[in-house]
Amino acid sequence: MAKAVIIGIPGEEGLWLADLDAGTVKPLNPTGELATASSLRKAGGIFVKGVDLAVAVSSAQIALSGHVDG
């Protein structure tokens, strides 16, 4: 099972590393193949691997209330 997730969302230039064990989210400076994937993302590409649900919401409160922005 994954213990960390790399996140990139439209409008947010950088990538983030969410460490599920530590309960933290930190900025990530991609290198190697991850930097290549990040550059494709900046050009409009989408890269998904090993994730079965991902939803961007406008606030944590929205997610905690069980709503998904439309």
**CB count in 10 Å sphere of residue 24:** 10
Q: Indicate whether 52 belongs to any domain.
A: yes
Q: Indicate whether 39 belongs to any domain.
A: yes
3-state SS, residue 15? strand
3-state SS, residue 36? helix
User: For the chain, how many structural domains are there in total?
Assistant: 1
pLDDT for 20: 93
pLDDT for 24: 96
Domain of residue 26: give its range.
2-63
pLDDT for 69: 64
- pLDDT band of residue 17 (cuts 50, 70, 90) is very high
Q: Indicate whether 69 belongs to any domain.
A: no
Whole-number Å distance between alpha carbons of 23 and 70: 27
pTM (2 d.p.)? 0.80
- pLDDT band of residue 42 (cuts 50, 70, 90) is confident
Q: In what order do the strands lie in the sheet with 24-28?
A: 4-7, 15-19, 24-28
Q: Indicate whether 68 belongs to any domain.
A: no
Is the predicted pLDDT of residue 70 greater than 70, yes or no? Answer: no
